[in-house]
Chain A
Amino acid sequence: MRIVYFILTSAVTIALCIILNSKVLLPAPLGRLLSPQEGIWQNAEPVNEDFNANLSVKGLNGKVTVYLDERLVPHVFAEQENDAYFVQGYLHAKFRLWQMELQTLVAAGRASEVVGEVALNHDREFRRLGMVFAAENSLKEMEKDERVKGECDAYTAGVNAYIESLTRANLPLEYKLLGYYPEKWSNLKSALFLKYMSYDLASHEEDFEMTNAKNYFLPDQFKALFPTYHDSIDPIIPKGTVYQEPKVHPKTPATADSLYFSRDTVSAEEDNKADKANGSNNWAVSGTKTASGYPILCNDPHLGLNLPSIWYEIQLSTPEFNVYGASFPGAPGVIIGYNDSCAFGFTNGGRDVRDYYEIKFKDESRKEYWFDSAWLPTTFRYERIKIAGKPDMIDTVAYSIFGPVMYDKSFGGKRTSSTKNYAVRWKAHDASDELLMFYLLNRAHNYNDYTNAVLNLHTPGQNVVFADKAGEIALRTQGEFPAKWRGQGDFIMPGTDSAYMWQAMIPMDETPFQYNPERGFVSSANQFPADTVYPYYLGRDYPLARGIIINRKLHSMSNITVEDMQSMQTDNYNIFGEMVVPLFIKYLDMNRLSPNARKYANELKGWDKRNDFNSRGATVFYFAWQHLRDTIYADEYKNAPQPISYPLDFTVMESLLRDSAYSFIDDINTPQKETLEDMVAAALNATAMDCEKLDEAGTMDWGNFKDTKISHLLKQDAFSRLHVPIGGGEHVINATKTTHGPSWRMIVSLEPQTKAFGVYPGGQNGNPGSFFYDNFIDQWAAGKYYPLWLMKKEEAKDKRIKWVMNFSNS
Chain B
Amino acid sequence: MNNSFVKFLIILFLSAALAFGMGMYFPWWSIAVAAFVTGLVVKAKPGTAFLGGLFGLFLLWAGLVYYISNNNDNILAHRFSLLMLKQDNPLKLILLTGGIGGVVGAFAALSGSLLRSIFSKP
Contact = CB atoms under 8 A, between A and B. Distances in A.
Interface of A: 2-3, 5-6, 9-10, 12-14, 16-17, 20-21, 28, 30-32, 34-48, 168, 716-719, 768-771, 773
Interface string B78-122: 011011100000000100110011011001101100110110010
A768 B76 contact: yes
Contact of A5 (B79, B82, B108, B114): B114
B8 interface: no
Given A2-B118, A168-B27, A44 B76 contact: yes
Contacts of A719: 79, 83
A35 B65 CA distance: 9
A716 B69 CA distance: 21
Given A12-B107, A46-B71, A48-B71, A6 B76 contact: no
Closest 6 CB pairs of A and B: A769-B76, A35-B28, A718-B83, A44-B72, A36-B64, A718-B82
A47 B68 contact: no
A348 to B, nearest CB: 33
A89 to B, nearest CB: 26
B61 interface: yes
Nearest to A20: B100
B70 to A, nearest CB: 9
Given A31-B104, A768-B76, A37 B24 contact: yes
A768 B79 contact: yes
A48 B36 CA distance: 37
A6 B114 contact: yes
B36 A34 contact: no
Contacts of A48: 71
Contacts of A771: 73, 75
B28 A31 contact: yes
Contacts of A47: 71-73, 75
Given A2-B114, A9-B107, A13-B104, 6 more contacts: A9-B110, A34-B65, A35-B28, A37-B28, A38-B28, A44-B77
A17 B104 contact: yes
A31 B24 contact: no
Contacts of A36: 23, 60-61, 64-65, 68, 97
B22 to A, nearest CB: 9
A10 B64 contact: no
B5 interface: no
26 contacts: A5-B114, A9-B107, A9-B111, A10-B111, A13-B104, A13-B107, A13-B108, A21-B29, A28-B84, A32-B28, A34-B65, A34-B96, A35-B23, A35-B28, A36-B64, A36-B97, A37-B64, A41-B69, A44-B69, A44-B71, A44-B72, A45-B75, A45-B76, A47-B73, A768-B79, A771-B73
Contact of B72 (A14, A17, A769): A769
B56 to A, nearest CB: 14
A13 B29 CA distance: 10
B85 to A, nearest CB: 10
Contacts of B14: none
A771 B32 CA distance: 34
A26 to B, nearest CB: 10
Contacts of B84: 28
A462 B108 CA distance: 63
B105 to A, nearest CB: 9
Given A13-B36, A718-B83, A38 B75 contact: no
A37 B65 CA distance: 9
A37 B114 CA distance: 28
Contacts of A17: 29, 32, 104
A769 B77 CA distance: 8
B115 A6 contact: yes
Given A2-B117, A9-B110, A719-B83, A37 B75 contact: no
A160 B71 CA distance: 30
Nearest to A6: B114
Interface string B23-66: 11001110010001000000000100000000000001100110
B83 A6 contact: no
A16 B72 contact: no
A179 to B, nearest CB: 14
Contacts of B101: 35
A181 to B, nearest CB: 14
B68 A31 contact: no
A20 B104 contact: yes
Contacts of A10: 111, 115
Contacts of A769: 72, 75-76, 79
B68 A44 contact: yes
Contacts of A30: 100
Contacts of A768: 75-76, 79
Question: Which of B80, B84, B101: most chain A CB closer than 10 A?
Answer: B80
Contacts of A39: 28
Nearest to B97: A34
B100 A13 contact: no
A492 to B, nearest CB: 44
Contacts of A41: 64-65, 68-69, 76, 97
Nearest to A773: B75
A769 B93 CA distance: 14
Nearest to A48: B71
A46 B73 CA distance: 8
Nearest to B85: A718
Contacts of A14: 32
Nearest to A13: B107
A44 B64 contact: no
Nearest to B84: A28
Contact of B23 (A3, A12, A37, A43): A37
B119 to A, nearest CB: 10
A31 to B, nearest CB: 6
Nearest to A39: B28
B76 A40 contact: yes
A47 B76 CA distance: 11
A46 B100 CA distance: 24
Given A31-B100, A34-B96, A718-B79, A45 B72 contact: yes
Nearest to A45: B72
